[in-house]
Amino acid sequence: MAEASPDPVPPISGASQPPVPQLPSGSGFRLAGADRRATLRRIWLDTFDWRLYRAGLTLEQVSRAGAAELRLTGRDGVLITAEPLPAGGGRALPKWPLQIAGLPAGPLAEQLAGVIGVRALLPVVRATSVLHEQRALNGDDKTVARVTADQMSVTFPAAARLPCRLAVRPVRGYQAQADRLAAQLGALPGVSTDGPAPLETALAAAGRRAGDYSGRIDVDLEAGMPAQAAMAVVLTALLDTLEANVPGTIADTDTEFLHDLRVAVRRTRSALKLGGQALPAGTRAQFAPQFKWLGDLTTLTRDLDVYLLGLPGMTAGLVGAAPADLDPFGEHLRRSRASARRNLLRGLRSARFAGLRQDWRQALTAAAERPRRKPPVQALAAASIAAAHQRVLAGGAAITADSPPERLHDLRKRCKELRYALEIFASLNAPDAQWRAVKELKGLQDCLGEYQDTEVQRAELRTFAAQMMAQQSAPAQTLLAMGEVAAGLAHRERAARAEFDSQFRQFARPSGQARIQALTEQAGQASR
């Protein structure tokens, strides 16, 4: 078919009036036919952390008179899947943000599920396109391509009018002539042939760029930088991440806003502990308790999120009980979460939280503006990583078969501190050495995480059961099913505990230690 087969000629962008420019005589082509017009309302969608963009995908809701669809394309603009949306005007269209369960069931939802996971799809750009289409005729007056001029106005995240964008769609069998036409159009004044994708153009016009948020510590520390300035850069980036996740947490858009907010808080606390001495005197003492308060404020809601996210897995793992037996438990978790969230929201809307953010940013700005010249950041990095590494080695070596669970939980915290130290100073290390160090640590972290999570969840399960009994909301079959879940958790807990020794041996072997020492020596040498 003329629509589907030919390779699309790259779009052409540039300012031009009228929408489709006139070709010079002697070009061998002319634009003719009725100028077909259409107005499209376009919403580009992605998760807050750009999972679709990072996977090379673009999702767009396109609606025009009487019809709407969701279109998933690759980065090359080639359509992968389209899902028609119910007709009936704006009221029938999806109300974004939505998680995967809110999308129409079908191939599109299936493809997206593997990429976006538990995250919600949010509008990243809203725009209106007025399209003018004309036919391009060759010397035989045969249509060889359709030329579309797209005049797009961005309405979100900021209002902007984009330069007119031309696209040449070849008619089947006329690719070579369409290529020549595109080259001629591209050579016209004010028109270029290498326009970026519409999403990126629209974002740029609105002052954003695709992929401008990630949960990682995305800072570029320079060698020789004063440690105080470096810590201010790192902690400011963490404060930005924390603040970026507050609206989504308050709106309960998806569970990962709170998760990323908590990670930013934990990293801040670790950075204060490991590198706080580089900041002006009194900073750590003033802010460490504040961030502990903030971390504690978020814990209960996150624990319940983890439970609820794991509930389908728990249900699927039941052997004796029926899946529906856990419904009252799920209901109890949802009620508990609603209650925990009320407390969380009070905290996030409190003057204390607003004051903390304001005071912390001021303190960091001041630290960045007037840094002490010494020590350099490499010395701080070497000392922090070495100290965190030593604490992991000592804590792990002290654990025996008789050690209580708390010892392993403490070791997990030390591992997180080492992980954060590696991540905070990552830009100072050779990427390969950094990657190997993190990979080795991750195996131990996963084991300790599984052990603590299952141990805590099992203990919490008892608490939940007691609460449900007290509220007379626990039928016998639900308690039996919860018992089965507890048994499954106990089994996983024992397996993780049994795996600990080999995981720690693996981490603590001489080659791993040498790798961390090389990282710290490298940083230390650079500081001298």
Partner 1 sequence: MKILATYNIKGGVGKTSTAVNLAYLAARDGYRVLLWDLDPQAAASFLFRVRPRVKGGGKALIRGTRPVDDAIKGTDFERLDLLPADFTYRNLDLMLDSAKKPARRLASLLAPLRAEYDVVILDCPPSISLLSESVLHAADLLLVPLIPTTLSVRTLDQLTEFLGGFAGHKPQVLAFFSMIDRRKRLHQQIARDLPAARPEFAATIIPALSVIERMSVERAPVAAFAPRTQAALRYRELWREARERARLADPPAVP
- Give min distance, CB of 64 to partner 1, in A: 9
CA distance from start to end of the chain: 69
- Three-state SS sequence of 298-320: HHHHHHHHHHHHHHHHHHHCCCC
**Closer to partner 1 by Cβ: residue 67 or 324:** 67
Instruction: Determine the residue type at 230.
Output: A
Q: Tell me how far CA of residue 187 lies from CA of 7, 18, 21, 349, in angstroms.
A: 21, 16, 11, 56
Nearest to 59 by CA among 40, 36, 77: 77
Q: What is the DSSP code (8-state) at residue 376?
A: B
Q: What is the smallest separation between the CB atom of 459 and partner 1, expressed in angstroms?
A: 56
DSSP character at residue 276: G
Task: Closer to partner 1 by CB, 6 or 488: give it.
Answer: 6
Q: How far is the CB of 71 from partner 1 (least distance, A)?
A: 11
- Could you tell me the smallest distance in angstroms from the CB atom of residue 124 to partner 1? 24
- CB nearer to partner 1: give 138 or 153: 138
Contacts of 26 (CB under 8 A, 6+ apart): none
CB of 171 to partner 1, least distance (A): 4
- Residue 74 or 173 with smaller CB distance to partner 1: 173
Minimal distance, residue 175 CB to partner 1, in Å: 10
Of the two residues 108 and 516, which places its CB atom closer to partner 1 in the complex?
A: 108
At residue 135, φ and ψ (nearest 5 deg) are -90, 140
Choice between 172 and 334, CB closer to partner 1: 172
For partner 1, the closer of residues 111 and 138 by Cβ is 138
User: How many C-beta neighbours within 10 Å does residue 525 have?
Assistant: 10
Environment class of residue 68 by beta-carbon count within 10 Å: exposed (0-12), middle (13-18) or buried (19+)? buried
CB of 133 to partner 1, least distance (A): 11
> Between residues 62 and 219, which has the closer beta carbon with respect to partner 1?
62
CB proximity list for 489: less than 8 A, separation 6 or greater: 454, 457, 458, 461
Contact at 8 Å (CB) between 7 and 172? no
Q: Which of 350, 365, 227 is nearest to 290 (CA)?
A: 350
Supply the minimum distance, in Å, between the C-beta of residue 438 and partner 1. Answer: 48
How many whole angstroms separate alpha carbon 137 and alpha carbon 143?
4
Minimum distance from CB of 28 to partner 1 (Å)? 15
Nearest approach, Cβ of 8 to partner 1 (angstroms)?
14
Distance in angstroms (rounded) separating the CA atoms of residues 72 and 82: 6
| Residue number with CB closer to partner 1 (172 or 342) | 172
Alpha-carbon distances of 180 from 19, 169, 379, rounded to whole Å? 20, 12, 60
Angle at which helices 283-316 and 255-275 cross, to 10°: 140
Query: Given the complex with partner 1, which of 72 and 363 has the nearer CB atom?
Result: 72
The rounded distance, in Å, linking the Cα atoms of 200 and 198 is: 5
Q: How far is the CB of 152 from partner 1 (least distance, A)?
A: 20
Nearer to partner 1, 72 or 100 (CB): 72
Of 114, 181, 110, residue with least CA distance to 146: 181
Distance separating alpha carbons of residues 497 and 520, to the nearest angstrom: 31
Binding site for partner 1 (CB under 8 A): 1-3, 5-6, 67, 69, 84, 135, 140-143, 171-174
